[in-house]
Structure 1
Amino acid sequence: MSVEQDFAGLRAALASTPSVTPAELGDLGRAVFVGSGDSLASALHASPHGHRAMSSGDIAWMDQAPAGCDTVVGISHSGTSGGTVKALRIARRAGLKTVAITSWAESPLAQAADVVQPVASLRYPEVVPVAGHLMLAQGVAAVCGVDTTAVNRQLLDNLDVIEALVEASAGELPTTLPQGISILSLPDLRSAADFATLKFIEATGLTVRNVPLEESGHVDYFIGPQSHLTLLLQADAAAFRFERLAQALEATGQTVHTVIWPGAANTPEDFLVRDLAMAVHNTWLAYRASKLWARPWFRGGQVNMDASHIKLPEHVLQA
């Protein structure tokens, strides 16, 4: 399957799928948004609005509601992710308000919530998945008060730009397999960076890390002498810092590629669309890297993708 075929499928799906319509949720107070994997990357969209994002397992397997919050928001496309379901049940027992962001209104997650923010399913043939994140992140933003009703149309309008950026980035990939990958960002693209980490792991099977920009500046020049790929995800802020850091890392022998999203973001809606556009870019770049380096995605099917290891047993889900 080629990247062009995938973009055609995404184009059709965005054109036919409604964006998220914000639900009536009332006051969240201080909220903690929880999820696992892709859903946790979606949860990071709550951070610019003054809320926190946590792994649902931090609540579920410690059996403690998060301190200093009024609301726990659980994020799961299927609504059956075990840690997230359990986290909402713990929050409810602690007397906190609970909200579910899910595509399945009758799911165990929805049943554990006081209020549900529904999201549609963006359906098209995928190799390395991004569709669920595009909708769940909209759900997070909608819960935080962002107008999400035109996001799919705005992403559709940007697909030509995204595709061109993928082609440019793919041309900068090293032709030989690196031994590791670092994804660097500032908070304006932190969710996209977190999501990129997951997608490169899924697509290539390499060790990949997500690093705040300045922390990389403190330690990453020690990486080596093995080959290492560093991707810098850059938007409007601190272009000079990205440039200086890229020079320093290149001087140590790393392959460095800076991905710059063209155009400014001025509203919460703009920031959301830009981050999701970069998430699409990163997903397709990971796919292209897997093809270039002859790395079979999901370890060539060796990995069990039914996600049973992160779901609670049926008798527990129905409890």
Structure 2
Amino acid sequence: MQHTEPTGTAQLSAALKAALLATPPVVGGAVPDLGRAVFTGSGDSLASALVATAHGHRALSAGDLTWSETMPAGCDTVVGISHSGTSGATVRALRLAGAAGLKTVAITSQPSSPLAESADSVHLVPTLELAETVPCAGHVMLAQGVAAVCGVDTAPVGSALAGVLDGVRDLVTAQLDALPADAPAAISVLALPELRSGADFWVLKLIEACGLAARNVPLEESGHVDYFIGPQEHLTLQLIGLLGRPRFDRLAQALRSTGQRVQQIDLSGPATTDGPAGPLVRDLAAAVAGTWFADGAARRWGRPPFRGGAVNMDASHIKLDI
């Protein structure tokens, strides 16, 4: 993956659309007798794992399995997710699962990686060739791999996602224009399960790009506690899909009554497409929107991504070392 200086949302949108249309689709991959599966990964890959929850499976951080050295109760299969196939906790989790006699599956773009070598079966996803500063390419492909393993026909997803990007770009541009001039102390991202994977990705990208504390909050849990937040400046972002709009509106009103800033990001229009893969396209569009929003917010607030090089980016602390 290449890294370049940040560009505007229009350029990001055009580059992603071109990359999606030039990349082979994610096809096949449904695993026979998957049973009760746990999909596991770290960081962006954990956001991809959350896609499986829409199909009756569980998603857990790879560290939950690896560092507790315990397999989840009632689990038949462990699916490890890593674009590079070298994320240490994920590789170890798959090895532990295999040693415990569970079926193991790898979702990766690297067929010769330690993750692939540790799995009973491997589902490969194409690499989305995209120059980006705040990355989303890996998640866009891995999330499709997760859905494919769960039995979703993902062949049309890439082109369908490309088809909604113009609307998503315009939505993000408007939301960036609505941001406060100065960065808040922290950010909450609210969503219902239909956009939970996308919301998790928003949090990751806001942290990477802006260096701010951010969290992913189930909609109703925010309603129970978030009106106590203050007096520091706090930004609440509501990711709205096809469900629950009245509850989003009522909660926004309650939070604003305590002096909080709320932005409603309605993905029910620009990110909606027909067909069985529509929910996945909407969730991926939400994730892409979060990447562009985080990139634009960082520039608006003068907070260069990854703290402008102040953070060691070799990622050695999360890579496989044995």
For the criterion TM > 0.5, the same-fold answer is: yes
Which has the larger displacement, 95-104 or 298-307? 298-307
Equivalent position of 1:153 in the other structure: 159
Equivalent position of 1:130 in the other structure: 136
Q: Does the 8 Å CA contact 2:153/2:277 hold for their aligned counterparts?
A: yes
Q: 1:225 aligns with which of 223, 231, 245?
A: 231
**In structure 1, C-alpha distance between the alignment counterparts of 2:199 and 2:20, rounded to whole Å:** 22
Query: How far has the Cα of 1:5 moved from its partner?
Result: 2.2
Q: Once the two structures are superposed, what CA deviation does each residue of 1:74-93 show, in whole Å capped at 9, x if it has no partner?
A: 00000000000000000000
**In structure 1, C-alpha distance between the alignment counterparts of 2:169 and 2:274, rounded to whole Å:** 23
**In structure 1, C-alpha distance between the alignment counterparts of 2:12 and 2:220, rounded to whole Å:** 35
Query: How far has the Cα of 1:238 moved from its partner?
Result: 1.4
**In structure 1, C-alpha distance between the alignment counterparts of 2:17 and 2:276, rounded to whole Å:** 23
Are 2:28 and 1:22 equivalent residues in the alignment? yes
Equivalent position of 1:250 in the other structure: 256
**In structure 2, C-alpha distance between the alignment counterparts of 1:246 and 1:112, rounded to whole Å:** 47
Query: How far has the Cα of 1:24 moved from its partner?
Result: 5.3
Where in structure 1 do 4 or more consecutive aligned residues deviate above 6 Å?
Answer: none
Query: How far has the Cα of 1:303 moved from its partner?
Result: 1.2
Q: Name stretches of at least 5 consecutive residues in structure 1 with no aligned partner.
A: none
**In structure 2, C-alpha distance between the alignment counterparts of 1:93 and 1:295, rounded to whole Å:** 45
Are 2:308 and 1:300 equivalent residues in the alignment? yes
Q: 1:80 aligns with which of 71, 83, 86?
A: 86
Query: How far has the Cα of 1:270 moved from its partner?
Result: 0.4
TM-score by length of 2: 0.95
Residues 305/243 of structure 1: CA separation in 2 closer, same or farther (3 Å cut)? same
Equivalent position of 2:320 in the other structure: 312
Equivalent position of 1:192 in the other structure: 198
Query: How far has the Cα of 1:36 moved from its partner?
Result: 0.1
Query: How far has the Cα of 1:106 moved from its partner?
Result: 1.0
SS of residue matched to 2:317: helix
Identity of aligned residues (%): 61
Equivalent position of 2:4 in the other structure: none
Equivalent position of 1:107 in the other structure: 113
Aligned residues, how many? 314
**In structure 1, C-alpha distance between the alignment counterparts of 2:18 and 2:274, rounded to whole Å:** 28
TM-score by length of 1: 0.96
Are 2:97 and 1:91 equivalent residues in the alignment? yes
**In structure 1, C-alpha distance between the alignment counterparts of 2:132 and 2:201, rounded to whole Å:** 16
Are 2:67 and 1:61 equivalent residues in the alignment? yes
Equivalent position of 2:173 in the other structure: 167
Question: Pairwise CA RMSD of aligned residues?
Answer: 1.2
Residue identity opposite 1:308 in structure 2: S
